[in-house]
Structure 1
Amino acid sequence: MNTASVPAGSPERGSLTKVVYILGRGRSGSTTLGQVLGAGNGFFYAGEIRYLWDPVLTHNTPCACGEQLSECPVWGKVLAELTHIDLDQIVRYQREVLRESNLVRLMRTRPDQAWPALAAFRDATDDLYSAIAKVTGCRVIVDSSKRPSHALVLRYAPSLAPYYVHLVRDPRASAYSWRNRQYSGGAGDQIRQRSSFDATLRWLLLNVSSELITYRTGRERLRRMRYEDFIAAPRDTIAELADWVGETLDESSFADERTVRVPVSHAIAGNPVRSRTGEVVLRDSGEWQRSQPSRDRLIATTVAAPVLHRYGYPFKP
């Protein structure tokens, strides 16, 4: 094919598509980080791609732009590239491969080692990200799916070059959000609120699981980041991440050190802030520090105690 037909800014034919995959626990600022990265030229923030087949497509959940995916100017074209994939079948593969109880098996198995579901899901995943790159003309896809299982599948995809950002937020802030914030999930239903104990236990398990990815990817492809450090210096943080993946900061995406110009979003699933556009000032409101009950804070601190120091958080926030 004539390379002159490749959209401006798109990867060269035969090159790998870069994926910045955000690992960690929900309510840790992954949507905000994804939006800010995706505001730069050559970057596309796709939202939580692990939810595309199910529940986004199975429940006909709209894109952040407000359109149904089939009518969205981005996802409509992406899906047109994937008509060879049977939705019912790929959903079955997804549920088998990404099941949390299969994480250890996923870490030990390669797609060519007698796991047909993994091989098929790997191929569909490769086709999906390649279609996104083709339609958007972007060099880097930003995916805030967070789950370690999906991160491992990306490692096996032959057309992708994944970079993993392990995003960590103070467990007490995460617990406060899970207990007090409520919004619709990928299926359009309300995500259930969680107790401080339940939310922090999941925070602990998912962050420890995210660290296991290091043993399969190598440290050069994984970077740990605290949400508090990102929100304190967003422009500098994005510049460092862009350099890490071999790109440069798009100066036009920032109005000043902490104000980002967010374009129309086509992110799927995730926090409702994925729909915001225009100039967004990035700062931490500190609401959880003012409003969290002392009992909830004590529970979250106790459950997260084994790794608080590792992630740089004091016992008394």
Structure 2
Amino acid sequence: MARVIFLGGLGRSGTTLIERVLGEVPGICAVGELVHLWQRDLRDDEKCACGSHFWGCDFWERVGIAAFGGWHRVDVHRVLALRELVERTRHIPRLATRVPAGYADLVREYADYYVRIYEAAAAVSGAEVIVDSSKHSALAHVLRYATRVEPALDLRVLHVVRDARGVAYSWTKNVLRPEAAADEMTRYSPARSALLWTAHNAAFSLLRRRGVRVRTLRYEEFLADPEATLRRLVTFAGLDPSAVDLGWLERDQVTLSVSHSAAGNPMRFTTGLVPLQRDDAWRTHLAPRQRAVVNAVCAPMLKAYGYELGVKR
């Protein structure tokens, strides 16, 4: 049975850093945002975080053989068609209820591709736990169906939340994707990101009510005490925190090694010493009107997660 920590939340919430830190723990293997593997890696042959292109990466070659007998045997068009049918935010209301048998078969077929990769990555890496930082709430709801069939999936969702104002400001930045020449990451207006922040976080709350093991973590809490937070996450992953050496993790910095993150934020390519510090540039750079919009949209959930609305510039 594959044991998976699914990192959920809206992008720009710190999930990539948390994924990388978790991936340094012995017994845990972080594989990046698998939701993008089908298009960016199998189809477009973008770079793995190790620096090799996906089709030339030894780790992913072995995973493909273990999972499918080789990546060439995967019908990428079929996977992307299934994704369109079942793994979209608009499908969450249907996924959260009792779906018709025919539709459930499609959901399980799509989920099975991920289960195979999780099991193969665990076998190739020798890890007990796989971290998938796909973030998409719809995919988390899809994976819930994989917990009901054999081989079952031990799904544990780490729901990462960051202050919506900080997330909104981050989505306005121009961020290049080094693995894709002349390509930039998506940008959203503060109003758009506020709506997405609310929708995605609400979807993970709904997932908890459907019986999935969900732990919510505020990104700011992780940065305030990385070691204590990581030990709690190691426990959540089902490992013994007392047996884990965290000498590579300090209060204000972490040492990151090369990973095999398949897709995600450009930070997945970063190695060596990385500072652990809050990015509160939004307090001075997010325009008052934009902040007011985010506050208006996100106020109920900001309060629920313990964020203050009346933060001074």
- Structure 1 runs of 4+ with >4 Å offset: 185-188
CA contact (8 A) 1:56 1:186 kept: no
CA contact (8 A) 1:233 1:257 kept: yes
Equivalent residue letter for 2:288: S
Paired residue for 1:113, among 74, 90, 101?
Answer: 101
Gaps of 5+ in 2: none
SS at match of 2:58: coil
CA contact (8 A) 2:2 2:115 kept: no
CA contact (8 A) 2:168 2:190 kept: yes
Deviating more after overlay: 84-93 vs 67-76: 84-93
Q: Which residue in the other structure is 2:12 paired with? A: 27
Q: Which residue in the other structure is 1:178 paired with? A: 171
Equivalent residue letter for 1:236: A
Q: Percent identity?
A: 33
1:257 positional shift: 3.0
Gaps of 5+ in 1: 1-15
CA contact (8 A) 1:178 1:199 kept: yes
CA contact (8 A) 1:185 1:269 kept: no
1:308 aligns with 2:305: no
Distance 1:105 1:194 in 2: 26
TM-score when normalising by structure 1 = 0.88
Q: Which residue in the other structure is 1:129 paired with? A: 118
CA contact (8 A) 2:42 2:55 kept: no
CA contact (8 A) 2:174 2:184 kept: no
Report Cα offsets for 1:198-243 as digits up to 9, x if no partner: 111111111111111112224xx11111111111111110101101
Q: Which residue in the other structure is 2:59 paired with? A: 74
Distance 1:185 1:27 in 2: 17
Q: Which residue in the other structure is 1:103 paired with? A: 92
Q: Which residue in the other structure is 2:157 paired with? A: 164
Q: Which residue in the other structure is 2:137 paired with? A: 148
Deviating more after overlay: 205-214 vs 282-291: 282-291
CA contact (8 A) 1:155 1:162 kept: yes
Equivalent residue letter for 1:153: V
1:282 positional shift: 1.0
1:253 positional shift: 5.2
SS at match of 2:157: strand
Cα separation, partners in 2 of 1:123 and 1:187, compared to 1, 3 Å: farther
TM-score when normalising by structure 2 = 0.89
Alpha-carbon RMSD: 2.0
Equivalent residue letter for 2:171: W
Cα separation, partners in 2 of 1:216 and 1:185, compared to 1, 3 Å: farther
Deviating more after overlay: 154-163 vs 32-41: 154-163
Q: Which residue in the other structure is 2:233 paired with? A: 241
Cα separation, partners in 2 of 1:256 and 1:186, compared to 1, 3 Å: closer
1:187 positional shift: 7.2
Equivalent residue letter for 2:84: R
Distance 1:186 1:92 in 2: 25
SS at match of 2:260: coil
1:90 aligns with 2:83: no
